[in-house]
Structure 1
Amino acid sequence: MDLPSNFKIFARYNQRMNDQLMRVCEQLTTQQLHQPTGAFFPTVMDHWNHLLFGDLIMLRRLVDNGVVNIDAQTMASLPVARTVNDSFASNLTELRALRALVDRIFLDFTHELTPEMCNRPIRYTTTEGQVLERDLGAFCQHLFNHQTHHRGQLTGVLSQFGLDFGCTDLPVIVPDGDRD
């Protein structure tokens, strides 16, 4: 499998898992969404906001490198990620709308990827001020790994609430032939 095909699967998996976990979180009360959990991020909403932080900052880097093209209106509607503790949504309604938009952008982006593009270098500055240059393929691998890592933390928290978040297996979530 080539990298663009792999990233299309990851983008679809990302979208579906975010929706699946969002539906599970809708079973929580507002108080539960904001109560301390003792996890890496203090609350369920903090987990979701950090996922958005990573996605938004990496999306901005892709736009700045001319890899992702977003119309001005959509770009203006996206919050700017500045620090790892940024909050972009205080409730699930806000979160669902923003999450759906960002997930759609990543899906569309992966459909435009080519093997040649994955070898293209991109340059960006980390939140710590370090300037990095990485191949687009390695950057995308980090993007999707970051999402999966933190959703794993979120499922741990949801387990503490006694919620069933369902299957998280990629081949079940994105079956063969369901990659578009």
Structure 2
Amino acid sequence: MDLSSNFRMLALYNQRMNTQLLGVCRQLSHEQLYQDTESFFPSIMAHWNHILFGDLIMLQRLVTNDLVSVDAAVLDKLPVSRSVNDTFASNLDDLVQLRERVDSIYIDITSNLTSDSCNRIVRYTTIDGQKMERMVGEFLQHLFNHQTHHRGQLTCLLSQFGLDYGCTDLPMIVPEGASL
């Protein structure tokens, strides 16, 4: 599998896992979604908003570098990331809609990736002011790892609420060669 196919698979996996876990979150009450979880982020909703922070800021950086084409009308509907503590959605319905839009964008972006585009350079400044240069492939790998890392925290929290979040195995969620 080449690198661009790998990212198409990861985008599909992330979309499916986000949908699956948000479906499980629908079983929680409003109070449970905002309950102090004594974890890295204070609540389940804070975890979801942080995942969106990473996705949105990475998308902004790709667009700013003219490395991806995203319809301006679609971009205008997305919030802008400024801080790791941003709140993009204050209820689950809004979160689901925003998550679906962002996941769809990453599916579209990865569908146009090539080996050459994975080697292009992304230049950006971190929120701490550090200047960075990374290849698109490295950049996207971080984006997908970031989502997976924080979804792992979410599955732990969901299990503490006694909820079954289902299978998270990549080969089961995205069978080899599916939609690549």
Q: TM-score range by the shorter chain?
A: over 0.9
Q: Which residue of 1 aligns with 2:131?
A: 131
TM-score by length of 1: 0.98
Q: Distance in 1 between matches of 2:72 and 2:108?
A: 16
Offset of 1:177 from its aligned partner?
A: 3.0
Q: Distance in 2 between matches of 1:70 and 1:10?
A: 19
Residue identity over aligned pairs, in percent, reads 63
Question: Which residue identity is paired with 2:12?
Answer: R
2:152 is equivalent to residue 152 of structure 1: yes
Question: Which residue identity is paired with 1:139?
Answer: F
Q: Distance in 2 between matches of 1:9 and 1:75?
A: 23
Task: Find the residue that maps to 1:33 and give its secondary structure.
Answer: helix
User: Which 4+ residue blocks in structure 1 deviate beyond 4 angstroms?
Assistant: none
What are structure 2's unaligned runs of at least 5 residues? none
2:49 is equivalent to residue 49 of structure 1: yes
Q: Distance in 1 between matches of 2:59 and 2:115?
A: 19
Offset of 1:179 from its aligned partner?
A: 2.5
Q: Which residue of 2 aligns with 1:19?
A: 19
Task: Find the residue that maps to 1:133 and give its secondary structure.
Answer: strand
What are structure 1's unaligned runs of at least 5 residues? none
Task: Find the residue that maps to 1:14 and give its secondary structure.
Answer: helix
Offset of 1:52 from its aligned partner?
A: 0.3
Q: Which residue of 2 aligns with 1:120?
A: 120
Q: Distance in 2 between matches of 1:130 and 1:179?
A: 37
Deviations 1:117-169 (A, max 9, x none): 11111101111110100111110110100010000011111111010000100
Q: Which residue of 1 aligns with 2:81?
A: 81
CA RMSD of aligned residues (A): 0.8
Task: Find the residue that maps to 2:128 and give its secondary structure.
Answer: coil
TM-score by length of 2: 0.98
Offset of 1:72 from its aligned partner?
A: 1.9
Task: Find the residue that maps to 2:143 and give its secondary structure.
Answer: helix
Deviations 1:75-118 (A, max 9, x none): 11100000000000011100010000000000000010000111
Q: Distance in 1 between matches of 2:70 and 2:16?
A: 22
Q: Distance in 1 between matches of 2:126 and 2:64?
A: 13
Q: Which residue of 1 aligns with 2:140?
A: 140
Q: Distance in 1 between matches of 2:121 and 2:71?
A: 23
Q: Which residue of 1 aligns with 2:61?
A: 61
Q: Which residue of 1 aligns with 2:173?
A: 173
Question: Which residue identity is paired with 1:107?
Answer: I
What is the number of equivalent residue pairs in this alignment? Answer: 180
Q: Which residue of 1 aligns with 2:102?
A: 102
Q: Distance in 1 between matches of 2:67 and 2:143?
A: 14
Task: Find the residue that maps to 1:23 and give its secondary structure.
Answer: helix
Q: Which residue of 2 aligns with 1:35?
A: 35
Question: Which residue identity is paired with 1:44?
Answer: I
Offset of 1:69 from its aligned partner?
A: 1.3
